[in-house]
C-alpha cells in the first residue's frame, strides 16, 4: 500500500473505550501490508484502537463519537518495544560490580544479593524497574527469574501487574509443582501476564534440563534459557545439551547466544528457536559480540533485550544503537546487518516473533493488541529532522517518548507516567537498597 492509500479498516468493532491518535506525521506500522517499505510507513495518518485492540490505521479515519482524541501532530507513532530478556529485580544492584565481567558480576552482585531481598523490598525494586521500562516505550517484558520463592514471586508479579505492562514471567529453579502452582495462582488470573519455564543449558546437568522441558510441555509454555553468554560456557556444550534433551525447537528462547559455532547456528535456525540479543549488557559485561549478520542469513528469529540490571537502565534507543554499533565497529562495514530499519523491526515485531507472540503484538496491524508508543522528535537531542528513521535509532532518548499505551490503556501521557508518584517509588527503592548493599563485594 502506498502513501496515498485508503485507510485499512475492520468492520463491526465495538466503539467502547475508543482512542484515536490523530494526524501523526509518520506511523511506522511494522506491517509491510499496511504501508510503505519493510516498516509499513504511512505519513500523516491516524491510529484508532477500541477495546484494547487496534481497529484501523490510515488517513482521515472516521472517529467514533465517544472516542478519546489524542492530537499527535508532528509526532511518530509505532508499536511498543518488546523487551525479550530482562531481570527487573536487578535494579537493586545498579552500578554494582562496575569492573567485573559476567561471571564476576553474577557471583559478586547478582547471586550475592537475590536471597537477601524480602518480599516487600522485591515489590519496591520491581515497581521502579517497570516504570523505567515504560518510560522508554517498552510495552512487553520477558522477565527471567530463578529460584525465587513464592512470597517474593507474589510481590514481583504484583508490581508487574500494577505497572500495566504486558509481561512474560519466566520462572524455574524450584520443584515443578511449585512453578505450576505459581503460574496457576499468580500469573494465569492476569490478562496481561503469561509464563515461560526458565532454565540453564549444561551438558553436565542434562537431567535438570529434561525436567525443565517436561514442565514447560506440561504447562504449554516456552522454555527460556541462557546460553553461551561467556566464552567459558562453551565447556557446558549447551546446544548439544538442548539437542540431546529434545529441547531445541520453536518453543525455545535462547538468551545471549554469543559464542556459537557455524554448525550450532545452523541447528538453531533449522529448529526455529528464538534468540534474545542484549547488546548493552554484552558490552558492559565484556561478554562478546553476537553473530547477527549470519543469524539474519539463516533466518533466526531475533529480538532485543535490556538484560535488567546488567544494562543498568532501560533505554530502548541506546539498545538499538548498540545493536547496530557493535556490528559496525567489529566489521568496519557501515552496511552490515542490522541497519536502522532492521533494528527498529527487531525491537518490535522481531521480538514478538522470537517469543511467538507476533499474532498479538509487535505491529499496528488491525486486530492486534493496542501496544503503542508515540515519539516526539521536537527536542534538543533529536531536532532538526532529516532522516527520522535513522534519528530514532541514533538520536532517540526515553524523553522523546510522549505517550505509551498497553492494551489501549494510556500509561504515559505528554511525557509523564500516568497516576504514578515517581518520587515515592524512588524513595521506596532507595530505602530497600540499603538493606542489600552490604552483600555486594
* Residue ranges in contact with Zn ion by CB under 5 A: 307
Find the shortest distance in angstroms from Cβ 221 to Zn ion: 18
**Strand, helix or coil at 151?**
helix
Q: Which residues contact 279 (CB under 8 A, 6 or more apart)?
A: 290, 304, 319, 322, 323, 325, 326
Q: What single string gives the DSSP state of each residue in 96-107? A: TTTT--HHHHII
Q: Indicate the residue among 307 and 353 with the shorter CB distance to Zn ion.
A: 307
Q: How far apart are the first and last CA of the chain?
A: 57
Query: Between 310 and 402, whose beta carbon lies closer to Zn ion?
Result: 310
Cα separation, 348 vs 408, in Å, equals 17
CB nearer to Zn ion: pick between 70 and 260: 260
Give the helix, strand, coil percentages of the chain, each rounded to 5.
40, 25, 35
In angstroms, give the least distance from the CB of 165 to Zn ion.
Answer: 18
- How many degrees, rounded to 5, is the angle at CA 139 between CA 136 and CA 140? 125
CB of 306 to Zn ion, least distance (A): 10
By beta-carbon proximity to Zn ion, the closer residue of 121 and 307 is: 307
**Nearer residue to Zn ion within complex by CB, 200 or 382:** 200
Nearest CB to Zn ion, comparing residues 117 and 404: 117
Please, are residues 292 and 354 in contact by the beta-carbon 8 Å criterion? Answer: no
Q: Find residue 277's DSSP bridge partners.
A: 304
Q: How far is it, in rounded angstroms, from Cα 79 to Cα 81?
A: 7
- How far is 55 from 14, CA to CA, in rounded Å? 9
SS3 100: coil
The C-alpha atoms of residue 315 and residue 407 are separated, in whole angstroms, by: 21
CB nearer to Zn ion: give 307 or 428: 307
Distance CA 296, CA 290 (A): 11
**Please, what is the minimum distance in Å from the beta carbon of residue 315 to Zn ion?**
17
- Grid cell, residue 351, equals 521480538
Report the helix count and the strand count for the chain, using DSSP H and E: 15, 18
Grid coordinates of 356 = 511467538
Residue 311 CB, nearest approach to Zn ion (Å): 10
Min separation Cβ 144 and Zn ion, Å: 6
CB of 170 to Zn ion, least distance (A): 10
Min dist. Cβ of residue 278 to Zn ion (A) = 7
Work out how close the CB of 276 gets to Zn ion at its nearest, in angstroms, rounded to a whole number: 8
Return the sign of the alpha-carbon dihedral for residues 208, 159, 428, 423: positive
Sign of the CA dihedral running 138, 144, 312, 191: positive
Tell me which H or E stretch contains 209: helix 206-219
Least CB distance from residue 310 to Zn ion, whole Å? 7
Please identify, using beta-carbon distances, which residue of 236 and 307 lies nearer to Zn ion: 307
Residue 307 CB, shortest distance to Zn ion, in Å, is: 5
Query: How many Å apart are CA 435 and CA 440, to the nearest integer?
Result: 11
Residue nearest to Zn ion (CB): 307
34 versus 129: smaller Cβ distance to Zn ion:
129
Task: State phi, psi for 24 to the nearest 5 degrees.
Answer: -65, 145
Nearer CB in complex with Zn ion: 231/328: 231
Strands 274-277 and 81-86, sheet pairing: unpaired
For Zn ion, give the closer residue by CB, 157 or 257: 257
Amino acid at each position: 500500500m502506498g502513501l496515498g492509500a485508503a485507510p485499512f479498516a475492520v468492520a463491526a468493532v465495538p466503539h467502547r473505550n475508543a482512542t484515536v491518535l490523530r494526524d501523526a506525521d509518520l506511523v511506522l506500522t511494522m506491517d509491510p501490508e499496511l504501508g510503505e517499505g519493510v516498516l509499513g510507513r504511512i505519513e500523516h495518518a491516524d491510529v484508532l484502537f477500541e477495546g484494547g485492540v487496534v481497529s484501523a490505521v490510515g488517513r482521515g479515519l472516521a472517529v467514533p463519537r465517544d472516542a478519546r482524541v489524542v492530537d499527535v501532530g508532528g509526532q511518530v507513532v509505532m508499536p511498543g518495544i518488546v523487551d525479550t530478556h530482562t531481570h527487573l529485580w536487578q535494579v537493586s544492584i545498579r552500578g554494582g560490580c562496575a569492573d567485573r565481567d559476567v561471571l564476576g558480576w553474577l557471583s559478586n552482585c547478582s547471586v550475592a544479593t537475590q536471597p537477601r531481598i524480602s518480599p516487600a523490598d522485591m515489590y519496591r525494586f520491581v515497581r521502579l524497574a517497570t516504570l523505567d521500562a515504560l518510560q522508554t516505550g517498552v510495552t512487553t517484558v520477558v522477565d527471567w527469574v530463578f529460584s525465587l520463592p513464592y512470597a517474593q514471586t507474589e510481590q514481583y508479579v504484583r508490581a508487574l501487574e500494577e505497572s500495566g505492562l504486558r509481561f512474560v514471567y519466566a520462572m524455574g529453579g524450584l520443584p515443578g509443582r511449585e512453578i505450576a502452582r505459581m503460574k496457576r495462582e499468580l500469573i494465569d488470573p492476569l490478562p496481561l501476564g503469561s509464563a515461560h519455564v526458565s532454565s540453564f543449558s549444561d551438558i553436565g546437568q542434562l537431567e535438570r534440563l529434561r525436567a525443565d522441558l517436561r514442565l514447560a510441555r506440561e504447562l504449554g509454555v516456552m522454555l527460556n534459557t541462557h546460553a553461551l553468554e561467556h566464552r567459558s560456557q562453551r565447556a557446558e556444550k549447551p546446544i548439544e545439551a538442548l539437542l540431546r534433551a529434545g529441547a531445541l525447537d520453536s518453543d525455545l528462547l535462547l538468551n545471549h547466544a554469543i559464542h556459537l559455532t557455524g554448525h550450532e547456528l545452523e541447528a538453531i535456525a533449522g529448529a526455529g528457536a528464538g534468540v534474545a540479543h542484549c547488546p548493552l549488557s554484552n558490552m558492559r559485561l565484556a561478554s562478546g559480540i553476537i553473530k547477527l549478520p549470519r543469524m539474519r542469513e539463516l533466518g533466526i528469529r531475533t529480538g532485543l533485550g535490556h538484560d535488567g540490571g546488567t544494562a543498568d537502565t532501560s533505554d530502548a534507543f541506546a539498545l538499538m544503537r548498540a545493536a547496530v554499533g557493535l556490528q559496525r565497529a567489529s566489521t568496519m562495514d557501515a552496511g552490515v546487518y542490522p541497519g536502522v530499519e532492521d533494528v527498529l523491526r527487531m525491537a518490535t515485531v522481531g521480538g514478538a516473533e522470537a517469543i511467538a507472540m507476533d499474532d498479538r503484538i509487535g505491529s499496528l496491524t488491525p486486530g492486534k493488541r493496542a501496544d503503542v508508543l508515540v515519539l516526539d522528535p521536537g527536542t534538543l537531542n533529536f531536532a532538526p529532522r532529516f532522516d527520522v528513521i535513522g534519528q530514532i535509532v541514533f538520536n532517540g532518548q526515553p524523553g522523546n517518548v510522549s505517550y505509551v499505551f498497553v492494551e489501549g490503556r494510556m500509561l504515559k501521557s505528554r511525557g509523564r507516567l500516568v497516576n504514578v508518584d515517581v518520587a515515592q517509588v524512588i524513595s521506596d527503592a532507595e530505602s530497600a537498597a540499603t538493606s542489600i548493599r552490604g552483600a555486594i563485594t
